[in-house]
Chain A
């Protein structure tokens, strides 16, 4: 009973921070009109690269036809606009500006605060960026529809997981800022690791076998590769459930680890000074 009450309170707090995130980003809505163009340019670049590659070898990417690859890249970039967030940067700024002390004075965990804010921003971008960019890109490029209605449903469930997964991972990255003060280098490294290992740039099937095996044990490919395979209908029924279960298990594991890691880092700073 008390556990349920505590949970509902936590969710309430989370929603409140989401609202703030949504309202906050509203102040910068102009930025998103240019965002649509940026995403369109990205997709255009990849479209021509893949076109050139497929022209030399139609079986270039194992298991993906050219039409599928165009869809993969287009949908990949469109969903990136909703699942990405700046939790790591936000924490880093708070640490550098010393505002983290104020966050510690709130009766809410910093993880929920940051996660809530990120969810609000994602909701905002879904409306202002993801959907318009999706419409524009699908008009310009030959993007296939989802494999089937159920596949689209699973894709959406998986996309929700991508948002949470990115949040959990970015929180862990941001937590390093407590000790390192500036994590700009780390943020840059993370950016490339995420783009590559999430499957945004190329599908996992194009990786060398050994790398594929290693990456299968990492959380990153569940950010983009998993929802994209669901969209394209590349998974059979049992594989679908397995992929979704894995996604959500990773979220739980990383969120729990993040909370533990955060407490550890905060304790170190509060004991030894910064």
Chain B
């Protein structure tokens, strides 16, 4: 089997009923309800090969969580097929769940009022982890996450960062070949985020764990994922390497010029080029921005350089956040459909 996870034409529809307004509406609802069907996931197909780390992003309500729930076997697809680790998740849930791990950033799977280590012991037991494996993994995980310090504290006393580290360990104690992470870095401080990312990298490298993660923090993707999938309104808009997305959608280029001396400012102030925006950052630095379709960087640089004496040139690419924001607002859809 090539794909460890395979989704073919996956569709999930939810039936919700419209609540009528007011008291009379509530009474009416008791007898007849108007149902509306919402397509949360619409014809989604993809494959994930073993060892891949895939970032799955999209605005709130785009269908991310619904997809993850179908992949983990919590939801049954309305139509289409899904297979993971050789199982049809919803059909063979109990057997399948032995082969996956999952972390939901918003919720903990640890018992709230008891020491973390008690939860671990329970997981060790229900996943049949041997003592030797348990000890070895705990030692390895502690190397990176340093969780031993608070293993004997109840979860309610842990900070969010500490709790998330423990949740990661809980999901990986049985060394599943496939790991689902739903917003694993939500609400974490920079150090905790960095630590969790490093941990995921190590796990992926050492155990070859395949990881699918959803996030709103694009730096998670930049640091971890070789591949990115973007979903919106139930459709997959993009599926490929991050670099490809940048190449395809990097539209706005910004070049910062640092003048040789203040005297050069006069020349630069008179410089005009229709379609190229000019912004004075301070008396020595100016920023020019333009559409990559209209101008090449070389073109703009040549013109500026022939106008004034320049000390340094910095080309700034559009940040991934900017690109993704454009995708979410729909302004780049035509460009993507040309693909």
B43 within 8 A of A: no
Give per-residue flags for A238-274: 1 if the beta carbon is below 8 A from chain B beta carbons, else 0: 0000000000000000000000000000010011110
Shortest CB–CB separation between residue A40 and chain B, in angstroms? Answer: 27
B13 proximity list for chain A (CB < 8 A): 273
Quick one: given A23-B118, A99-B107, A102-B107, are A107 and B127 in contact (CB under 8 Å)?
A: yes
Q: Which of B75, B97, B118 contacts A273 (CB under 8 A)?
A: B75
Q: Name which of A12-20, A54-62, A201-209 contacts chain B.
A: A12-20
Q: Name which of B87-95, B140-148, B195-203, B317-325 contacts chain A.
A: B87-95
Is A27 touching B97 in the complex (CB atoms < 8 A)?
Answer: no
A238 to B162, CA, bound (A): 60
Is B122 touching A27 in the complex (CB atoms < 8 A)?
Answer: no
Is A16 touching B122 in the complex (CB atoms < 8 A)?
Answer: yes
B1 within 8 A of A: no
Quick one: given A27-B154, A272-B15, A273-B16, are A13 and B114 in contact (CB under 8 Å)?
A: no
A189 within 8 A of B: no
A12 to B118, CA, bound (A): 16
A101 to B75, CA, bound (A): 9
Quick one: given A16-B126, A107-B126, A270-B90, are A102 and B14 in contact (CB under 8 Å)?
A: no
Give per-residue flags for B52-69: 1 if the beta carbon is below 8 A from chain A beta carbons, else 0: 000000000000000001
B45 within 8 A of A: no
Interface of A is mostly: helix
A106 proximity list for chain B (CB < 8 A): 97, 126
Quick one: given A102-B109, A104-B93, are A20 and B74 in contact (CB under 8 Å)?
A: no
* Complex: chain B residue closest to A102, CB-CB: B109
A27 proximity list for chain B (CB < 8 A): 113-114, 154
Interface size (B, Cβ < 8 Å)?
37
Is A24 touching B113 in the complex (CB atoms < 8 A)?
Answer: yes
B115 proximity list for chain A (CB < 8 A): 23
A159 to B102, CA, bound (A): 40
Interface size (A, Cβ < 8 Å)?
28
B102 proximity list for chain A (CB < 8 A): 102, 105
A141 to B237, CA, bound (A): 75
Give per-residue flags for B98-136: 1 if the beta carbon is below 8 A from chain A beta carbons, else 0: 101010100101010111001101100111100000000
B154 proximity list for chain A (CB < 8 A): 27
Footprint of B on A, CB under 8 Å?
9, 12-13, 16-17, 19-20, 23-24, 26-28, 97-99, 101-102, 104-109, 267, 270-273
Footprint of A on B, CB under 8 Å?
12-16, 40, 69, 72-76, 78, 90, 93-95, 97-98, 100, 102, 104, 107, 109, 111, 113-115, 118-119, 121-122, 125-128, 154
